[in-house]
Structure 1
């Protein structure tokens, strides 16, 4: 993918999430209340990285998960491509620092973080860019730090033209099988510590959560 094509793709994703952000929040998308298994994954992540270092929510949306982790005692910050999503995040969680940024451009300093989240946000990253993102996030982790990725499970790509109240959008949901993601994460230098597969609950597709750790000897 050329830089020009990548920029156009990211701009389409950015403008789409700006357009749906208000409905996304009002509809309670991403609410953790009905999802005990997802809360359990976040609780375990928080317990294991709390004393290692700060956490970056890389694709934070309106800050729901950032706020949850902050309540568990983590030092957390968030970034999102959509400025409107970041506005909501700042309004809802003023105690947390949120910035407008793309994870495809982000390169945190080596060993600066205790944890990184790609929580149902990295499925919009072009397939050719995702291994590079995973590698940069892995380098940013301190030994023992963890990467937690949650995404849609499946094969192929799904082109979205409307979302969240039939708002027009233009983004692609890239589906992955767990083995594909785990191989990519291992190639980035991390070791898998947990995998959670959640079956389809229409209209939601099957989901997967993968936790990986930077080896203590790294």
Structure 2
């Protein structure tokens, strides 16, 4: 692991440890729009089976819990120990562990699916191909992967946003805005074939459009 990767992981971990409780209180459910829930339900239908499903960047654990309610054997992985602690507190019957999507600690071909909802947004561009290659290694043949992320506004040329404060706390978080086409292309290079893309406009307090990309291991 390079020094740059270590810095990115450390600053992201520390930032979310700092804001974990405020984040969970502010966003008791991450699926704020009916369309968001519909996409996750479609993923659940495709992933339902006996193989475990990984929720990468699981945060307070609400999506992991939703999948479990749908009969999907899901577990959560998050970089932040504070987020993992909150998820375990809220959902004591489910599995959550500290880890990074940059080095998935699962056997090759063992996952029946994976989600990365608003978590790849913190991965630098140079690291994303390696992350997607890891997704491909971990997934069983035919298994689905669902990604959600903020995407640039029409005409917007801001590919990266640095946030130094949130919920009155000092943090150091980088956000990378990507188009569905960019993400789809990188997934294809990693051997993950496109199933569908969904793009919706900002809703409520949101300031940027949202995109969902559903792919599968060929």
TM-score, with structure 1 as normaliser: 0.92
3-state SS of the aligned residue for 1:172? strand
User: Cα RMSD between the aligned structures?
Assistant: 1.5
The aligned counterpart of 2:155 is: none
CA distance in 1, matches of 2:3, 2:193: 34
Does the CA contact (< 8 Å) of 1:55 and 1:114 recur in 2? yes
Shift in Å at residue 108 of structure 1? 2.5
Contact kept in structure 1, 2:50 and 2:73, CA below 8 Å = no
CA-to-aligned-CA distance 1:86-138 (integer Å, 9 cap, x gap): 00000111111111111112252221011011111111112111111111111
Per the alignment, residue 212 of structure 1 pairs with 215
Deviation at 1:149, TM superposition (A): 0.3
Aligned residue-pair number:
212
Deviations 1:20-48 (A, max 9, x none): 0010111125432x421010001000011
- In structure 2, the residue matched to 1:92 is 90
SS at match of 2:54: strand
Equivalent in 110, 114, 117 of residue 116 of structure 1: 114
Show structure 1 runs of 4+ deviating over 6 A: none
User: Conserved in 2, the CA contact under 8 Å of 1:119 and 1:148?
Assistant: yes
Change (3 A) 1:138 1:98: same
Secondary structure at the aligned position of 2:103 is classed as coil
Alignment correspondent of 2:17: 18
* Corresponding position: 1:7 with 2:9: no
Partner of 1:140: 138
C-alpha distance after superposition, 1:163-213 (max 9, x if no partner): 2x2321101000101100000011111111111101123433111000001
TM, length-normalised to structure 2: 0.92
Match in the other structure for 1:129: 127
